[in-house]
Structure 1
Amino acid sequence: MRKLNIMFIIALLAFLLAACGSEEGTDSSEESGENASGDSQEFDLVEDGKLTFAASGEFKPFSFMKDGKMVGYDIAVAEAIADKLGLEAVQQKAKFAAIVTGVKQGRYDIAVASHTITEDRLKEVDFSEPYYYSGPVIYVRPDSDIESAEDLKGKEISVSRGSTYVAIAQEYTENIPQVDSDVVALQSLAKGHHDAVITDKITGQTAIDNGLEIESRGQLGVSEQAVAVPKEKDKLQEAINQALKELKESGKLKELAMEWIGVDITAKPEEAK
């Protein structure tokens, strides 16, 4: 009888332990599933489980084409953010001037395309914390008589269509040819067209390093570049900010900047005088 009781107790204990283990396993699995897919659904993405981001592919070294895909600093940052969010990064190439509209209309989840945070753009989309800092610079041919911003008055200044440089150029002239990309503007300048180009410092320096015969004649300020996010997508914006914070703190963002740009552009510089 005692032997039967002992066997019954052992069997009962085994049953209870198995039930507890099964219950815990189920809870853990379900919780994991909710975290993996729940966030994705909460973000209300273009495609569940994927982060669709837009860039121009015409802004070397930030985004440019290689072997049929976009690469560059912007692209690397977008992919790092997607990885932090547990999502698959899906790139979409678009004309720079149309990217903000595409984000606003929901064609893209976000844009990682070197957009400067401006009041006008904030009316259309929201922005993350900056993922790099730069600033507009005056570029001219070596034989130009333009030495500073004051010399730009009345000159022909070419800029990228849809960029913040349009408004800056308007402070000096009404003669502002707009082209599809900053690189095109700089190439045209080097060939003898236009009097000057206003564009990003890194883009101009990269063009010079690649042999383009142009020179810098002064920086016009400091700008903050950030990820564009659709309005009312607070959860997505918060998640991107958290991802960027982790990328900065771990040194990964700086690592990507050094890889693609050659300098650390992730720390805010002092305002240009």
Structure 2
Amino acid sequence: MKKLTIILIFTLLTLLLAACGSDEGSETTGDSTSGDASGEEFKLIEEGKLNFAASGEFKPFSYMKDGEMIGYDIAVAEAIAEKLGLEAVQQKAKFAAIVTGVKSGRYDIAVASHTINEKRLKEVNFSDPYYYSGPVIYTRPDSDIESAADLEGKEISVSRGSTYVDIAKKYTDDIPQVDSDVVALQSLAKGHHDAVITDKITGQTAIDSGLKIESRGQLGVSKQAVAVAKGNDKLLKAINEALQELKESGKLAELSKEWIGVDITDEPKEVK
């Protein structure tokens, strides 16, 4: 009898310890979720979902079709979410408010063609670049503007909240700011403003769509990256790892060619 009692007590203790170990290992928090096999936890708005912001007004990077955003930025965001084992959730927002939204926790990340600069780095962290571009001067065909030197004192329209505002300030104080680069270029083609400074891919896409505008020189090279809230280091690390995998596999270049027509995922060695 005594031996049987000892066996029963030992069995109960074994079951109790197993139960405690199971509870401890499965503990989670309401504001984070696990990534893929790495088991890292990310601070997310919704468990199992990656809420990403884009403007939906920056063709071919993000634009609207049938009530959803599509484009290169959107495809990259969805590819990152898949790598992290998360459901991608689109959040359309005005470009000028997106960085603030990431900083305040309204969005988990932004995949919205943000150029890395010192001003934005004070607000959020950035991933490794997922594409490279650069600011270009656009005018009407009959314009007397031939280069950056001719921009002095001219009316230069740019997208509100973009890095092009600071670039335009080098040449003039007359800088009408509009909601998107596409709006600025359309206005330019209709006879408003003297010039527009915007991304070379956006400008070329506008020309290909029939807008009567011309390029008059590139002003530099820019690096576009994913914005992540400061303090969410595990998510930033996982995004960089996902981007590296997408680049090494050729998937990032494939998405670029699909949506942009060319591979813009490698840093250019010189500005032409």
- Normalising by structure 2, what TM-score? 0.87
Match of 2:238 in 1: 239
Match of 1:153 in 2: 152
* Residue 33 to residue 64, structure 1, CA distance change in 2 (3 Å): farther
Name the CA distance, whole Å, in 1 between partners of 2:199 and 2:131.
12
Match of 1:38 in 2: 34
Q: Are the counterparts in 2 of residues 221 and 271 from structure 1 also a CA contact under 8 Å?
A: no
* Residue 203 to residue 32, structure 1, CA distance change in 2 (3 Å): farther
Deviations along 1:117-168, whole A, 9 cap, x unmatched? Answer: 0000000000000000000000000000000000000000000000000000
* Residue 77 to residue 33, structure 1, CA distance change in 2 (3 Å): farther
Match of 2:173 in 1: 174
Q: Are the counterparts in 2 of residues 55 and 112 from structure 1 also a CA contact under 8 Å?
A: yes
Q: Are the counterparts in 2 of residues 129 and 227 from structure 1 also a CA contact under 8 Å?
A: yes
Q: Are the counterparts in 1 of residues 132 and 223 from structure 2 also a CA contact under 8 Å?
A: yes
Amino acid in the other structure paired with 2:217: G
Name the CA distance, whole Å, in 2 between partners of 1:210 and 1:130.
27
Q: Are the counterparts in 1 of residues 116 and 222 from structure 2 also a CA contact under 8 Å?
A: yes
Match of 1:118 in 2: 117
Match of 2:258 in 1: 259
Identity of counterpart residues, as a percentage?
80
Q: How does 1:17-28 map to 2 (within 5 A)?
A: none
Name the CA distance, whole Å, in 1 between partners of 2:45 and 2:75.
20
Q: Are the counterparts in 2 of residues 41 and 48 from structure 1 also a CA contact under 8 Å?
A: no
Q: How does 1:1-273 map to 2 (within 5 A)?
A: 37-39=33-35, 42-272=41-271
Q: Are the counterparts in 1 of residues 33 and 43 from structure 2 also a CA contact under 8 Å?
A: no
Amino acid in the other structure paired with 1:164: T
* Residue 242 to residue 32, structure 1, CA distance change in 2 (3 Å): farther
Matched residue of 2:74: which SS?
Answer: helix
Amino acid in the other structure paired with 2:151: L
Amino acid in the other structure paired with 1:38: S
Name the CA distance, whole Å, in 2 between partners of 1:265 and 1:31.
44
- Normalising by structure 1, what TM-score? 0.86
- Of Structure 1 and Structure 2, the greater helix share is in 1
Query: Which runs of 5 or more residues in structure 2 are unaligned?
Result: 1-17
Amino acid in the other structure paired with 1:184: V
Residue-pair matches, total: 246
**Offset of 1:32 from its aligned partner?**
10
Name the CA distance, whole Å, in 1 between partners of 2:270 and 2:122.
25
Q: Are the counterparts in 2 of residues 60 and 203 from structure 1 also a CA contact under 8 Å?
A: yes
Amino acid in the other structure paired with 1:252: K
Q: Are the counterparts in 1 of residues 40 and 234 from structure 2 also a CA contact under 8 Å?
A: no
Matched residue of 1:139: which SS?
Answer: strand
Structure with higher Rg: it is 1
- RMSD of the alignment, in Å? 2.1
Name the CA distance, whole Å, in 2 between partners of 1:59 and 1:271.
25
Matched residue of 2:111: which SS?
Answer: strand
